[in-house]
Amino acid sequence: MLQKKHGVTTTLPYFIPFPPIPFVLNFGTLGAVIRIKSLVPNRKALFDIGVAGPIAGFIATLIVLIYGFENLPDIEYLYQIHPEYRFLPKLPEGDLTFGDTLLFFLLKKLFSILNPDAFIPPMNEIYHYPYLCAGWFGLLVTAMNLIPVGQLDGGHIIFAMFGDKHKFIARGFFFSLIFLGVFGIFEQNLGWPGWLVWAFVLYFIVKIEHPPIGTFGLLDKKRMVIGWLAIAIFILSISPSPIKIK
């Protein structure tokens, strides 16, 4: 809608499949990418196009997470799924563990303080709790989309905010993904092999550097504040090691 408002032509969403890969959780898709085909008239238009989706998605994800934490069942729910857990001194570590993000960690702490008697499942059992699992994946997709590279929404935002400095930011993040992906092959606490897949997609489909736009005007203070809010959302949503598989 915003691209139509600003008179910008875009492609239809490119669906990005995510096939089964060893040591990488297969959740079917990495989402979709929309590429800009026409010249964007100015930085304000580019910023508006880039920032709307991630903020809307983050708000929806936050609502799902809050609802999930507020309506957590007691530990009996988990015992029904794993009856053997009743006889163990503590819950075992699973073969699949979701990595904490800063926001997920803070929400766990907040709800444990507000409701000390509540059972908050460990990260290796999150997939049994639909709202928490959906919210966790929402954070992952939001973070991946906000990576400041190419024509990702994060790329649009950073280019609109910082102009040509985007090149250095984009290259830095691209090589960081490769670094985390390689480290994740050998030590999953330090990275995730899936970042290599995402780096491949960025390099060959999204591209690393943002294409030029039209009239270059500066963003107003309101948009700069919203831009920094989007950067904060990225920090809250990202996990260097989002998925660990034994």
pLDDT for 198-239, tens place per residue? Answer: 899 899 888 899 887 765 678 999 999 999 999 999 999 999
Per residue in 178-191, pLDDT (tens digit) is 999 999 999 988 89
Q: What is the pLDDT of residue 113?
A: 96
Taking CA atoms, 120 is separated from 91, 125, 162, in Å, by 12, 10, 41
State the average pLDDT over residues 92-120: 94
Query: 141-145, 195-199, 213-217: which range is least confident on average?
Result: 213-217
197 to each of 21, 70, 159, 162, 203, how far by Cα in Å?
Answer: 9, 35, 24, 27, 10
Answer whether 62's CB lies under 8 Å from 172's CB: no
pLDDT at res. 213: 77
pLDDT at 92 over 80: yes
Q: For residue 153, which of 5, 39, 7, 13 has the smallest C-alpha distance? A: 13
Give the span between the Cα atoms of 184 and 190, in whole angstroms. Answer: 6
What is the pTM (predicted TM-score) of this model? 0.89
The least confident of 18-22, 61-65, 122-126, 219-223 is: 18-22
Residue spans per domain, the chain:
2-68+129-245
- The span from the CA of 185 to the CA of 190, in Å, is 9
